[in-house]
Chains A and B, each alone.
Chain A
Amino acid sequence: MKTVMDTSYKFIALQTIVIKEVRRFLRIWVQTLVPPVITIALYFVIFGSLIGNRIGQMGGYTYMEFIVPGLIMMAVINNSYANVVSSFFSQKFQRSIEELLVSPVPNYIILTGFVIGGVCRGMAVGLIASIISLFFSGVHMNNILITVLVVMLASIVFSLGGFINAVYANKFDDISIIPTFVLTPLIYLGGVFYSVELLPPFWKAVSQINPIFYMVNAFRYGVLGISDVDIGFAIFMLLLFAVGLFSFSLWLLHRGKGLRH
């Protein structure tokens, strides 16, 4: 008699959650894939093309080339977060999460499934944003391994952030508070549109405590080969955030916070 769920069963359960998550964001593609693409295209046209031509070079690249990695990273972060927070909260809200909770799927498989779902949407939007950027900017790839590693880690970190937000949320308003009041300012102040070298020393120091600053710069290093931070430190910080948030999320699931009475 089996005493634990064997590996093949766990893999099937994980695959089932991922397929369900991907099917969900593809089913509502007009809400999930189209808006970020339009937003990114507008950023490219207005900031990159119209205003960027008057700004001149930044870090040795045209302004358009400089902001492309930051804008792609912004799309990945926002969509990874949005996918998990909205999917998990709506399942919690309509109680369909109980389908999973009464089944023998271990908590870490449930969490991994939702995170992979968030990463899939982040990657899908990032890929579309990258393709659109080709209409405005040339092709650059300094280090593909670092580029992929950084974008994956950032996507994992913000999928976990979305999960924690969903666990604590009690109403739909609660899932928009963090993106509006925390995520958006951090992204805009994280060096997407400028190099921190342009900032006065005080604000330059403040930027160092913004985790998104490291993500944007590490990704920019992977694409263009320029960065305001040490790339090794940036990747270390991303790994630390991923492990820390995964552990915390697992603890929340184990406690049944907001899920089990």
Chain B
Amino acid sequence: MTPAISIRDLHKTYDNGHKALNGISLDVKEGDFFALLGANGAGKSTTIGVISTLVRKTSGTVEVFGKNVESYTYETKLDLGVVPQEINFNHFEKVFDIVVTQGGYYGMPLKLAKARAEKYLRQLGLWDKHNQQARVLSGGMKRRLLIARALVHEPKLLILDEPTAGVDIELRRSTWEFLQKINKQGTTIILTTHYLEEAENLCRNIAMIDKGEIVVNTSMKQLLQTLNQELFVLDTFESMLSPPDLPGFTVNMVDEHTLEVGLDRKQSLNEVFDQLSAQQVRIKSMRNKSNRLEQLFVSLLNREPQ
């Protein structure tokens, strides 16, 4: 099957000499929900810029559904919807007009553009505001408007550059549900985000980019399996004066009611509970100290051995 995106040996050096991309190669399968992660300035937005033609590459090739973005500009742009990181619509225009106008840029007759605008504004919970100027929308609503605008021509591939940055948890979760829905309907999605929980929950495959190079490109499942140790935080009923003795486990007492226990992949949590019970320590609650993907992200980008 032709990949939705195929990038080969992509280089980008800006006029000021900054090397943003240093030979990136990447394939994203059709129908995938793909995460592109990296620190600020790693090269994510430049990669998206080259795909959407807003950034001119120095060398390399980019194909969208098998077509080169430079040779087949019209077809590749029809297949592509981009949700940028920055809010980039005219704040004084009405919400409805912004989406309908974008449909016009894709050659959609007015009636169809209006119908599509209504469809996506309703699905994204913005229909109540459709007749208002975009500037009155909250930050989260503005980001959803960017999504509606990018979808008006119903692209086969949707690229979202940090779509939930600064969005409250309720809107973030409803945006996730919406994206999962359109992905199930067949839209390939590439997502960049700083919320690693978001990438872990939504994406099936993942690439991590650092200093303009791909450092990881694998499935989310495989990547998480490479995590050797997980750290759990346990809240106890009993007050403790010193950390309990847990042979084989790393233990740190945070305060008199809180323990941090480290397990490697071969160890069982049951053993921890058994040993604590034997020492009359009962567990009230338990959680991961940090997101698993976050641990991997930090270790991979710092090049630290796990």
Contacts and interface: CB of A to CB of B under 8 A. Distances in A.
6 contacts: A1-B75, A8-B107, A91-B90, A98-B88, A99-B149, A260-B55
Q: Which of B56, B84, B88 has the most CB of A within 10 A?
A: B88
Interface residues of A, number: 33
Interface of B: 14, 49, 52-56, 72-75, 77-78, 80, 82, 84, 86, 88-92, 97, 101-102, 104-110, 149
B107 A9 contact: yes
Contacts of B54: 98, 101-102, 260-261
A104 B14 CA distance: 25
Contacts of A19: 104
A256 interface: yes
Given A2-B74, A102-B52, A96 B105 contact: no
B157 to A, nearest CB: 12
Nearest to B73: A104
A98 B84 contact: yes
Given A99-B101, A99-B102, A100-B105, A3 B75 contact: yes
A10 B104 CA distance: 9
Interface string A1-31: 1111110111011011101100100010000
A23 B90 CA distance: 13
By Cβ-Cβ distance, the 3 closest A-B pairs, closest first, are A16-B104, A9-B107, A103-B105
A27 B56 contact: no
Contacts of A98: 54, 84, 88
Interface string A98-131: 1111111100000000000000000000000000
A81 B63 CA distance: 40
A23 B102 CA distance: 15
B75 A12 contact: no
A3 to B, nearest CB: 7
B106 A103 contact: yes
B74 A95 contact: no
A96 B89 CA distance: 5
B104 A15 contact: yes
B77 A103 contact: yes
A180 interface: no
A261 B55 contact: yes
A26 to B, nearest CB: 13
A4 B102 contact: no
Contacts of B97: 23
A24 B90 CA distance: 10
B101 A256 contact: no
Contacts of A4: 74
B49 to A, nearest CB: 7
Contacts of A1: 75
A198 to B, nearest CB: 47
Contacts of A5: 74, 107
Given A96-B90, A98-B84, A103 B55 contact: no
Contact of B105 (A2, A6, A13): A13
Contacts of A16: 101, 104-105
A13 B113 CA distance: 12
A16 to B, nearest CB: 3
Contact of B56 (A23, A99, A256): A256
Given A27-B92, A91-B90, A102-B54, A13 B107 contact: yes
B156 to A, nearest CB: 13
Interface string A170-200: 0000000000000000000000000000000
Given A12-B107, A17-B104, A103-B77, 15 more contacts: A1-B75, A3-B75, A8-B107, A12-B108, A15-B104, A94-B90, A94-B91, A99-B105, A100-B105, A101-B54, A102-B52, A103-B105, A104-B74, A104-B107, A261-B49
A104 B90 contact: no
B83 to A, nearest CB: 10
A102 B54 CA distance: 7
Q: Which of A13, A27, A99 has the most CB of B within 10 A?
A: A99
Contact of B88 (A10, A27, A95, A104): A95
A103 B88 CA distance: 14
A13 to B, nearest CB: 6
B221 to A, nearest CB: 33
Contacts of B53: 101-102, 260
B162 to A, nearest CB: 15
Given A12-B108, A16-B104, A261-B54, A102 B90 contact: no
